[in-house]
Amino acid sequence: MNQPASPHGHHEVMFDLELEDSGILRLTWPRGARITEADAQRAMDRVNELCGDDRHPMIVDMATTDDVTRGARSVFAKPCQASRIALWGSSPVDRVIANFFIGIMKPPCPTRFFTDETEALEWLKTV
C-alpha cells in the first residue's frame, strides 16, 4: 500500500476512525504501525472533527501497533472530544505501552487498558 510521504520524509500512518451507531468512536491503527507525533495529531484532529461539540467514548485498537513515539504520546495526553478511552490490545508490549501512557502521561479523560473488546465496550458505556 502506498502511503503519502510527509514533508519530513517519513510515511504517514493511515488509520481508520469511525463514529459507530452506538455513539462510540473506534480508532484502529494498522498492523506494525509506528505512530509519530504527526500521525497522532492527524488522528486527534479527526476525532474532534467527527465529534463537533459532542463528546464520545472511544475505543483504540492498538493490538498491532509496534511503537508510539514520545511526541505521539504527548499529543494523546492533550484533551480532545473523547469522553473516556479504552485502549484495547493483546500483547505484553501493548500492556506496557498502555500502562506507561496511563501512569506517566496522565490522559485527559478516564482511560483504561483492556485485552477483551467486549469488556472495553461495556466500560465505555458506563457513566
92's grid cell: 505484553
pLDDT at site 6 = 41
Which domains, ranges and CATH numbers included, belong to the chain? 16-122 (3.40.970.30)
Q: Please name the residue ranges forming H helices in 1-127.
A: 37-51, 70-76, 92-100, 117-125
User: Against a cut of 0.75, is the pTM above it?
Assistant: yes
Whether 54 and 25 have beta carbons less than 8 Å apart is answered as no
Per DSSP, what are the bridge partners of residue 67?
Answer: 34
For the stretch 40-79, pLDDT in tens is 999 999 999 999 999 999 999 988 788 888 899 899 989 9
Instruction: Report the alpha-carbon distance of residue 21 to residue 46 in Å, rounded.
Output: 17
For the stretch 82-114, pLDDT in tens is 999 999 998 888 888 888 888 887 788 999 999
pLDDT band at 127 (very low <50, low <70, confident <90, very high): low
